[in-house]
Amino acid sequence: MFDRLINPGSIAVIGASHNPQKIGYVVLKNLVSHGYRGEVYPVNPKGGEILGYKVYANVEDIPPVDLSVITLPAELTVKVFEDVAKKSKFIIPIAGGFGETGKEGKEREKKILEIAKKYNARIIGPNTVGIYIPSTGVNTALVVPERSRFPGDGDIAFITQSGALGLLTMDSVAMYNVGFSAFINLGNRIDVNENELLEFFGSDERSKVVIMYIESFRDGREFMRIAREVTRKKPIVVLKAGRTKRGGRAASLHTGALGGSDAVADGAFKQCGVIRAYDEVELVDYARALAYGKPIHGDRVAVVTSAGGVGVVTTDYIESQERGIGMKMAELSEETKRRIKEEVVPFASVENPVDMTAQASDEDYDGVLEALNSDPNVDAILVYALFQTPLISERLVDIITRWHREGDKPIVVGTIGSEFAMRMLARFEENKVPAYPSIERAVKALRVLRDRGEILRRLGE
């Protein structure tokens, strides 16, 4: 349904500009610089050429296109809208000045929606940063390139009501190589809404998980119906903002959202197998766990570390109900303890956490992971890849990756450090291993995989 939006064969930029300061220029430039390979039709009454593209003076002059991006102010957007709708399958009116500003803006929305319906065109927005699709190079979002980053292609489909929060979130994880299959900003959401998109990405093979930032649902019942279906195929993570009374008020000023009770939302999410995140960090952390990791069936976790203190804090977080995830430290089998002690690391503590101390080598990690992988008392493994000690090398990334891919047990990785650790995080990410830069974030990824295991179990009943 949205194939031609995600992968358009042709794009018109209505209001394309010769002036590098104008968004009509930047949008065009973004298309070029992110490698979009389809046809591009800049439209501007002045004609001429921009960035090597022939500029059309009138929308009438261009052939039909899959997508039109309107970079004009609200009033002009309305003015050209009928001409654009005649030519386009999808239209992204970027400008604000619509429903979010009051009565006049609402009138504008009504007008463009009527026109779109008449010509069977679909609107994303208005008042939106639009879409960013790394795999096809379609990018209508405006940020200052020197001060922000766009992520590469990946497994995460991101539907967001807030464009800025979405772009900031993608920016913050781009440096770790986190990739996205699609990013779509609903904006004022007068036409295309989160439910249709959720359904679409539910069947999109390139998206392994769908994440959403939502301040209000267009149709909660419909969302639940679709979520229930999608969650059988892939996980959904929702950051529902405006969950407090005052937050709801802020949301209504932001996107005009009217939220309901958060307890009701929470119950509904649980019922239909949606996993909740509470901020922008959790949203992507959980997405990565769910996209790359195996669901955890059971609650017994084995922890591997070379730093004793990290093992102790992790144990607290795993076991605590109040400040932690309320799972359990596995009681390792006698056979596992024997193997680790006799065959791998005689100097280590073979209770759980398995503390290999600063003497640990890459091979020791390999041996311990092998032993834990065949322990029937272990449901999941949290392994700390700490690169600060002398016998550990970058090869540890490959060793853990192999156990993640070939072993039976779900694996989550934690690492702590500066630039080097972050480079290793990016390598884990390339290998699609869920890895996190702090104890708490690694442990919370375990919980999410356990939740996913629970959801799948319930669905199977």
Q: Which of residues 115-144 bind a second copy (CB under 8 A)?
A: 142-144
153 contacts a second copy (rule: CB under 8 A): no
Residue type, 366: D
239 contacts a second copy (rule: CB under 8 A): yes
346 contacts a second copy (rule: CB under 8 A): no
Touching a second copy, residues 169-198 (CB under 8 A)? 169, 171-175
Shortest spacing between CB 151 and a second copy, in angstroms: 9
Shortest spacing between CB 314 and a second copy, in angstroms: 8
Between 89 and 276, CB nearer to a second copy: 276
Rounded distance between C-alpha atoms, residue 105 and residue 133, angstroms: 29
Phi, psi angle pair for 39, to nearest 5°: -75, 145
459 contacts a second copy (rule: CB under 8 A): no
Of 15, 93, 166, 235, the one binding a second copy (CB under 8 A) is 166
Rounded distance between C-alpha atoms, residue 41 and residue 59, angstroms: 9
Q: Write out the DSSP string of 20-51.
A: TTSHHHHHHHHHHHTT--SEEEEE-TT-SEET
In 3-state terms, what secondary structure has residue 18?
A: coil
355 contacts a second copy (rule: CB under 8 A): yes
| Packing angle of the helix pair 362-373, 395-406 (nearest 10 deg) | 10
Of 246, 406, 460, 461, the one binding a second copy (CB under 8 A) is 246
Helix (H) or strand (E) holding 88: strand 88-93
Site string for a second copy, 196-215 (x = CB under 8 A): -----------------x-x
Contacts of 44 (CB under 8 A, 6+ apart): 15, 16, 17, 18, 24, 50, 55, 56, 57
| Packing angle of the helix pair 439-460, 308-319 (nearest 10 deg) | 40
320 contacts a second copy (rule: CB under 8 A): yes
312 contacts a second copy (rule: CB under 8 A): yes
Touching a second copy, residues 273-292 (CB under 8 A)? 278-281
Rounded distance between C-alpha atoms, residue 8 and residue 53, angstroms: 18
Shortest spacing between CB 279 and a second copy, in angstroms: 5
254 contacts a second copy (rule: CB under 8 A): yes
Of 317, 365, 403, 428, the one binding a second copy (CB under 8 A) is 317
315 contacts a second copy (rule: CB under 8 A): yes
368 contacts a second copy (rule: CB under 8 A): no
Between 312 and 456, CB nearer to a second copy: 312
Rounded distance between C-alpha atoms, residue 452 and residue 457, angstroms: 9
Between 256 and 407, CB nearer to a second copy: 256
24 contacts a second copy (rule: CB under 8 A): no
Between 76 and 416, CB nearer to a second copy: 416
Of 438, 457, 458, 459, the one binding a second copy (CB under 8 A) is 438
- C-alpha distances in angstroms, 267 versus 169, 221, 250, 280? 26, 13, 23, 21
In 3-state terms, what secondary structure has residue 416?
A: coil
Between 120 and 418, CB nearer to a second copy: 418
309 contacts a second copy (rule: CB under 8 A): yes
Of 1, 57, 168, 264, the one binding a second copy (CB under 8 A) is 168
242 contacts a second copy (rule: CB under 8 A): yes
Rounded distance between C-alpha atoms, residue 363 and residue 44, angstroms: 63
Touching a second copy, residues 324-343 (CB under 8 A)? 324, 328-329
Between 71 and 161, CB nearer to a second copy: 161
* CA 149, 152, 158, 159 torsion-angle sign: positive
- C-alpha distances in angstroms, 158 versus 152, 224, 228? 13, 18, 18
Touching a second copy, residues 385-414 (CB under 8 A)? 386-390
Touching a second copy, residues 35-74 (CB under 8 A)? none
Q: Are the C-beta atoms of residues 84 and 92 closer than 8 Å to each other? A: no
Rounded distance between C-alpha atoms, residue 242 and residue 245, angstroms: 7
Total residues contacting a second copy by CB under 8 A comes to 81
Shortest spacing between CB 253 and a second copy, in angstroms: 5
